[in-house]
Amino acid sequence: MAEIRYIKAVNQALADAMEADPTVFLIGEDIGAAGGSFKATRDLLDKFGPERVYDSPISEAAITGMAVGAALTGMRPVVEIMFMDFTTLSMDMLVNQAAKARSMFGGQGSVPMVLRTPHGGGLNAGPQHSQCLEAWFAHVPGLRVVCPSNPADAYGLLRAAIDDPDPVIVVENKALYAMKGDLPDDREPIEIGKGRIVRPGRDATVVSYGAAVAMAQTAAETMAEEGIEVEVIDLRSIQPWDEDLVLESLTRTHNLVVAHEAVEAFGVGAEIVARMADIGFDQLDGPILRVGAPFAPSPFGKTLEDAYRPDASQIVAALRRTLA
């Protein structure tokens, strides 16, 4: 088992998938010689050549449209969109074409493509480069959405996404790219739709994904100092999400908080809260609470961005409120 950075795990997953399957190719802006904005595709041009690592023009709509067409003809394209904010320019191809193809063709055609894109703040990149838009894509039938929280999951979920017969959005929190973690020697894809218990507990459950998982763990450690044991769940996959795992945990702990970096209003957390209030109502000892960003654009300034982004202290406050 080797220690590896998150961004290197992404790079390794791409290289391994391209080695294993000649139909896998990469397309995006500056992903060739430059290695991508965050260096996720570093050295892959030298290894696989320009026919499989394709530096595209600056047109997210064209990039995604080319990928949809290639996928429909049997290829497995992996698109890199430099910032998740720029997926706005890919929405027609993703939402109206890729997501609908299997249904429109009566199950006779599919779009086995992946779109990788970084979301989130922490780099003071401002309101047009820091958004978390995963709820948009999770709302669209036909799209799958995953968001890894650590290097091993970044590898395993990306491999699973590339193997999937339908379009998958892989959301990578750019503040995690430098994170170090263990990558198993026997690397395998991670099943999309299956979460994991990061920390077991008996008094409350925190459900999170991406960068919020580390916040939830810090909050759990704080509560443990007071004798309160918090169970932390990493969803890994947002669409589909592991409803059974969350309900099983709620059945044990009887208190639930959902935390994510995205804006709280109309977010992924709202769906989880609504579903658990429906099927898990009898298990609740307190209100289900959400922790997320305020309903405002992400600010540029470091001090303002720090205040804007959710943190462990807000999760602790939510836990205390529901336990009260």
Q: What's residue 2's pLDDT? A: 86
Structural contact between residues 218 and 182, judged by C-beta atoms closer than 8 angstroms: no
Domains of the chain, earliest start first = 2-183 (3.40.50.970), 196-323 (3.40.50.920)
Structural contact between residues 210 and 260, judged by C-beta atoms closer than 8 angstroms: yes
The whole-number average pLDDT for the span 182-194 is: 93
Residue type for position 255: N
% of the chain exceeding 90 in pLDDT: 96
Q: What is the pLDDT of residues 143-161, one digit of tens each?
A: 999 999 999 999 999 999 9
The whole-number average pLDDT for the span 317-322 is: 98
Residue type for position 169: I
pLDDT band at 187 (very low <50, low <70, confident <90, very high): confident
> Is 254 annotated in the active site?
no
Is the model's pLDDT at 58 over the cut of 80?
A: yes
What is the torsional sign of CA 304, 309, 314, 318?
positive
Is the model's pLDDT at 319 over the cut of 80?
A: yes
Is the model's pLDDT at 218 over the cut of 90?
A: yes
Q: Rounded to an integer, what distance in angstroms lies between the CA atom of residue 299 and that of residue 270?
A: 24
Is the model's pLDDT at 107 over the cut of 90?
A: no
Is the model's pLDDT at 186 over the cut of 90?
A: no
Beta strand 196-199 with 230-234 is antiparallel
What element of type H or E holds 62? Answer: helix 60-72
Q: What's residue 313's pLDDT? A: 98
Backbone angles phi, psi at 300, to 5 degrees: -75, -50
The whole-number average pLDDT for the span 117-134 is: 96
Is the model's pLDDT at 1 over the cut of 80?
A: no
Q: Rounded to an integer, what distance in angstroms lies between the CA atom of residue 12 and that of residue 20?
A: 12
Q: Which of 29, 80, 129, 260 is catalytic?
A: 129
Torsion of CA 181, 26, 163, 272, to 10 degrees: 60
The whole-number average pLDDT for the span 37-62 is: 96
Q: What's residue 303's pLDDT? A: 96
Q: Which of 60, 80, 231, 271 is catalytic?
A: 60
pLDDT band at 114 (very low <50, low <70, confident <90, very high): very high
Name the residue with tokens 């990928």. 67
> Is 129 annotated in the active site?
yes
Q: What's residue 271's pLDDT? A: 98
Q: What's residue 87's pLDDT? A: 97
Q: What's residue 140's pLDDT? A: 98
Is the model's pLDDT at 309 over the cut of 80?
A: yes
Residues in the chain: 324
Q: What is the pLDDT of residues 257-301, one digit of tens each?
A: 999 999 999 999 999 999 999 999 999 999 999 999 999 999 999
Q: What is the pLDDT of residues 222-248, one digit of tens each?
A: 999 999 999 999 999 999 999 999 999
Is the model's pLDDT at 109 over the cut of 80?
A: yes
